[in-house]
């Protein structure tokens, strides 16, 4: 009976605030100019990724395993931009940094979900480049539409499973100290630090997600390019080597744009809080804008397709 009463009292002690206050950009000088910049980034991201999705959808020559991955990356970019930046712009336009508890959890889920999908899709595209360079004669037998579709479906499913677990565990936390979230969105870490009760299970789950969805994809991508570099040295002709490198250039730039700002944030422990917020927000906002631009400007097939369609028109 005593154990039942203690359990009931523990459950009733959980406090969920009606709102959180997103404090991230509040203390940054001239923040209004940064909001305007984010608005520009959002417009370019939405238009660019919509364009990539549209072109791949209507152009039958792009219905290949590689462009299935590019299509998925554009969808993930579109999803991340629309789940992150409009909330920031709304804070600026309506001068309100409050967000309801449920909306905060939804915001956390969608931002991390689509950001994680970006990392996994880049890894799948690295696998595509690995097979194309190292096993060119077997490429069409190994990298097939069903194979890539299965990989992408697993990526969507396992990401949903883990991110739902991370967000659901927030509901077991009690917030009785403060409602001020020191980030630019409903970030998991800053919200954990507001909890009054034990958040060790939340921390362990979040740490597992970081290992699985940030470090592991990065390691696999780097290993892919280690093997690709080895295969490039075996190509005798300079022209063949240059052509192989060119097929990887767009993907390498996407990987660099996604990972370098994140790595830079974590390897500089003395980074000023405002600089850290700006850096992490750029790390989330810029890749969705740059990815379609890079693929359009660095992929010969896309440029040729656009030229042909323009000539037809």
Q: What is the mean pLDDT of residues 52-79?
A: 92
Q: Over 70: is that where the pLDDT of 309 sits? A: no
Q: Count CA atoms closer than 13 A to 204's CA, side-chain side.
A: 4
Q: How does DSSP assign 260-303, residue by residue?
A: HHHHHHHH-TT--HHHHHHHHHHHHHHHHHHHHHHHHHH-HHHH
Q: Mean pLDDT across the stretch 17-33?
A: 83
Q: Which residues contact 191 (CB under 8 A, 6 or more apart)?
A: 20, 104, 108, 170, 181
Q: Which DSSP helix (H) or strand (E) runs through 67? A: helix 65-94
pLDDT in tens, 136-194: 899 999 999 999 999 999 999 999 999 999 999 999 999 988 899 988 899 998 999 89
- pLDDT at site 307: 65
Tell me the average pLDDT across 97-116. 94
Distance of CA 311 to the CA centre of its chain: 36
Tell me how far apart the alpha carbons of residues 257 and 217 are, in angstroms, rounded to a whole number: 15
Task: Report how far residue 183's alpha carbon sits from residue 274's, in angstroms, rounded to the nearest whole number.
Answer: 10
What's the confidence (pLDDT) of residue 173?
92
Q: How confident is the model at residue 113 (pLDDT cuts 50, 70, 90)?
A: very high
Q: Residue 12: what pLDDT? A: 53
pTM > 0.85: yes or no: yes
Q: How does pLDDT run across 188-236, given as a tens digit for each residue? A: 989 998 998 888 999 999 999 999 999 999 999 999 999 999 998 888 7
Cα separation, 268 vs 256, in Å, equals 18
């Amino acid at each position: 009976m005593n154990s039942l009463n203690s359990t009931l009292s523990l459950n009733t002690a959980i406090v969920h605030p009606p709102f959180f206050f997103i404090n991230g950009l509040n203390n940054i000088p001239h923040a209004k100019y940064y909001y305007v910049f984010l608005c520009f980034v959002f417009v370019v991201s939405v238009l660019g990724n919509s364009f990539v999705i549209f072109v791949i959808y209507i152009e039958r020559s792009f219905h290949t395993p590689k462009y299935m991955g590019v299509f998925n990356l554009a969808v993930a970019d579109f999803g991340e931009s629309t789940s992150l930046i409009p909330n920031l712009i709304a804070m600026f336009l309506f001068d309100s940094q409050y967000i309801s508890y449920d909306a905060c959890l939804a915001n956390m889920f969608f931002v991390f979900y689509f950001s994680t999908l970006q990392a996994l899709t880049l890894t799948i595209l690295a696998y595509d480049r690995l097979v194309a360079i190292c096993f060119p004669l077997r490429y069409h037998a190994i990298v097939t539409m069903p194979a890539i579709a299965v990989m992408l479906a697993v990526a969507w499913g396992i990401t949903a499973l883990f991110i739902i677990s991370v967000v659901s565990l927030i509901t077991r936390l009690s917030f009785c100290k403060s409602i001020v979230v020191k980030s630019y969105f409903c970030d998991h870490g800053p919200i954990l630090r507001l909890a009054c009760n034990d958040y060790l299970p939340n921390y362990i789950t979040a740490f597992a997600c970081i290992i699985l969805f940030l470090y592991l994809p990065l390691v696999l991508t780097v290993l892919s390019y280690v093997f690709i570099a080895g295969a490039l040295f075996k190509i005798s002709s300079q022209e063949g080597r240059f052509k192989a490198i060119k097929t990887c250039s767009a993907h390498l730039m996407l990987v660099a744009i996604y990972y370098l700002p994140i790595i830079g944030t974590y390897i500089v422990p003395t980074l000023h809080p405002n600089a850290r917020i700006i850096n992490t927000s750029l790390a989330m906002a810029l890749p969705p804008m740059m990815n379609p631009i890079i693929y359009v400007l660095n992929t010969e097939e896309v440029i040729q397709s656009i030229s042909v369609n323009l000539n037809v028109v």
